[in-house]
Amino acid sequence: MNIGIIGTGYVGLTTGACFASLGNRVICVDNNVQKINMLKKGHMPIYEPGLEELVKQNEKENRIEFTTRISEAVKKSDVIFICVNTPTKENGDADLSAVETVAESIAGHMNRYRLIVEKSTVPVETGIRVKQTIQANIRNNVAFDVASNPEFLREGSAIHDFLNPDRVVIGVESRRAEKILKELYKSFSAPIVVTDIRSAEIIKHASNSFLAAKISFINLISRICDKVGADINKVAEGIGLDKRIGSDFLRPGAGFGGFCFPKDLAAFIRIAEKLGVDMKMLRGVAQANEEQKEFFLKKIEDQLWNLKNKQVGVLGLSFKPDTDDIRYAPAIDIILRLESEGVKVKAYDPQAMLNARTVLNGTLYAKDPYDAAKGAEALIILTEWNEFKQLDFKRIKKLMKRPLILDGRNVYSLEKMKEYGFQYISIGRPAVA
Ligand code: UDX
């Protein structure tokens, strides 16, 4: 099939590269000239494992191309995916101006039937708005369909998630649209849920909210464990083995981040509010997430006593491993708070330091984890990169001013830390003194 992808962020670029790898011809559009120029040269604007290789391979086989001209994509494609950004406005609403502009533009260039699919996470009824916008701007009365096909990929494992989904959700209004989307996903073994557009939109919001709720739930329990000296990792294992609950997304930590959960949660709460439904539970999920960062900060403060001029090393800046994305990363909030209290932070992250420099100006950046630990009164773990799991702790201990590790991701075993002689404070587990 000929596929147009509008927006080359995480979702757009991964969708484009994966559909191309399945044998489709894909044309990706973005209005950011710099981004498109980078992509044309084979450089990725984001770090995502395997993406660059996949794009390059498909470019070589003439299955993927990049342009700033939406007209070109509309002309060449049968199916057009809208994958543009839907950031949060100050009042919590999703800003859908990019979706509207794209819909107008698509309508202006359509000369035969097209299927327009929303893949960005959007409030319920956006599909209907897109349809109305296209209808209002279309010329020559050409036929078209609008569909919703939400994407559930995670950053850091985007390609794998896209190609191996648990389910494919298709929200359609016509048999024609259903047939096209089913054809597009025919090589996938996952079940396909076919529904109306509104239900598909809600599935996406409800899924993200549910997952965020799982994390806030385990984080709240971690605070109880902390108070009574229980072990949250064991508690999570004990809960998760119940098949009705499941063990995924029960990892405690210093809060969740990223561009999806915090933003989508706020948007869903706001959508519900407008519909007259008070999502108290989801407001609690968001609040618990903010409190979780405070909970970890308090542990740091308790240990360091007077914060002014204390030097600490930080490992991890991205909102999770295997990405350079720092949007809504708990690490950034925590560092900003520590720095505002006079703490001197030396941070290391395998991928996210370049991005972090745009928001953390007073921070020093280390060349590796050992450099971050050198002279530090505490080593603070904020992202569980694999690289941090196998460090030379004897060396770290020698380099530090005080052998104190504060672990906001429960990366290390209590026994190991005891063996190495560290004072080790983690989340919801007994402290190693
Ligand atoms: C999420 C959804 O998983 C994905 O389906 C959706 O399409 C986009 O949003 P993503 O934001 O890439 O994906 O990352 P995810 O792996 O879900 O992690 C989100 C945040 O939750 C991270 O900050 C992570 O550290 C945190 N998290 C996740 C936990 O704290 N504990 C967990 O058990 C799982």
Three-state DSSP class for residue 188: coil
Three-state DSSP class for residue 204: helix
Which atom of ligand 1 sits closest to the CA of residue 157?
Answer: 12
Determine the Cα–Cα distance for residues 70 and 81; give it in Å rounded to an integer. 12
Residue whose entry in the numeric block shows the structure tokens 């035969």: 112
* Beta strands across the sheet bearing 79-82: 64-67, 25-29, 2-6, 79-82, 114-118, 144-148, 168-171, 192-195
Q: In one letter, which amino acid is 226?
A: D
β-pairing, 364-365 vs 2-6, is unpaired
Does residue 316 have its Cβ closer than 6 Å to ligand 1?
Answer: no
Does residue 249 have its Cβ closer than 6 Å to ligand 1?
Answer: yes
Determine the Cα–Cα distance for residues 310 and 401; give it in Å rounded to an integer. 11
Q: For residue 260, indicate whether it is catalytic.
A: yes
State the distance from the centre of ligand 1 to the C-alpha of 207, rounded, in angstroms. Answer: 11
Does residue 70 have its Cβ closer than 6 Å to ligand 1?
Answer: no
Q: Let me know: does 177 contact 201? Beta carbons within 8 Å.
A: no
Tell me what pLDDT residue 180 has.
Answer: 98
- Which residue from 6, 7, 264 is spatially nearest to 116, judged by alpha carbons? 6
Tell me what pLDDT residue 139 has.
Answer: 86
Which atom of ligand 1 sits closest to the CA of residue 156?
Answer: 12
In the structure encoding, which two tokens stand for residue 426, read together? 């983690």
State the distance from the centre of ligand 1 to the C-alpha of 156, rounded, in angstroms. Answer: 10
In the structure encoding, which two tokens stand for residue 390, read together? 């196998």
Does residue 260 have its Cβ closer than 6 Å to ligand 1?
Answer: yes
β-pairing, 168-171 vs 344-348, is unpaired
Determine the Cα–Cα distance for residues 212 and 231; give it in Å rounded to an integer. 21
Which atom of ligand 1 sits closest to the CA of residue 330?
Answer: 23
Determine the Cα–Cα distance for residues 43 and 5; give it in Å rounded to an integer. 18
State the distance from the centre of ligand 1 to the C-alpha of 386, rounded, in angstroms. Answer: 16
Does residue 215 have its Cβ closer than 6 Å to ligand 1?
Answer: yes
Mutate to test the pocket of ligand 1, among 10, 151, 154 (most ligand atoms within 8 A of CB): 154
State the distance from the centre of ligand 1 to the C-alpha of 324, rounded, in angstroms. Answer: 14
β-pairing, 423-425 vs 192-195, is unpaired
For CATH 3.40.50.720, list the domain ranges present in the chain. Answer: 2-195, 210-425
Does residue 10 have its Cβ closer than 6 Å to ligand 1?
Answer: no
In the structure encoding, which two tokens stand for residue 237, read together? 């294992």
pLDDT one digit per residue (tens) for the chain, 433 residues: 999 999 999 999 999 999 999 999 999 999 999 999 999 999 999 989 999 999 999 999 999 999 999 999 999 999 999 999 988 888 888 899 999 999 999 999 999 999 999 998 888 889 999 999 999 999 888 999 999 999 999 999 999 999 999 999 999 999 999 999 999 999 999 999 999 999 999 999 999 999 999 999 999 999 999 999 999 999 999 999 999 999 999 999 999 999 999 999 999 999 999 999 999 999 999 999 999 999 999 999 999 999 999 999 999 999 999 999 999 999 999 999 999 999 999 999 999 999 999 999 999 999 999 999 999 999 999 999 999 999 999 999 999 999 999 999 999 999 999 999 999 999 999 999 9
Three-state SS annotation for 64-119: EEEECCHHHHHHHCCEEEECCCCCECCCCCECCHHHHHHHHHHHHHCCCCEEEEEC
**Residues 6+ away with beta carbon under 8 Å from 124:** 198, 201, 202, 205, 271
Tell me what pLDDT residue 194 has.
Answer: 98
Write the CATH number of the domain with boundaries 210-425: 3.40.50.720
Q: Cα torsion at 10, 13, 14, 18 (round to 10°)?
A: 170
Q: Using N-to-C axis directions, what is the helix angle for 280-304 and 261-274, rounded to 10°?
A: 140
Determine the Cα–Cα distance for residues 194 and 205; give it in Å rounded to an integer. 17
Mutate to test the pocket of ligand 1, among 15, 161, 211 (most ligand atoms within 8 A of CB): 211
- Which residue from 148, 150, 171, 151 is spatially nearest to 161, judged by alpha carbons? 151
Write the CATH number of the domain with boundaries 2-195: 3.40.50.720
Tell me what pLDDT residue 215 has.
Answer: 98
Q: Let me know: does 312 contact 343? Beta carbons within 8 Å.
A: yes
Tell me what pLDDT residue 93 has.
Answer: 86
Residue whose entry in the numeric block shows the structure tokens 């959007």: 122
In the structure encoding, which two tokens stand for residue 18, read together? 């994966």
Determine the Cα–Cα distance for residues 28 and 68; give it in Å rounded to an integer. 8
Does residue 258 have its Cβ closer than 6 Å to ligand 1?
Answer: yes
Tell me what pLDDT residue 197 has.
Answer: 96
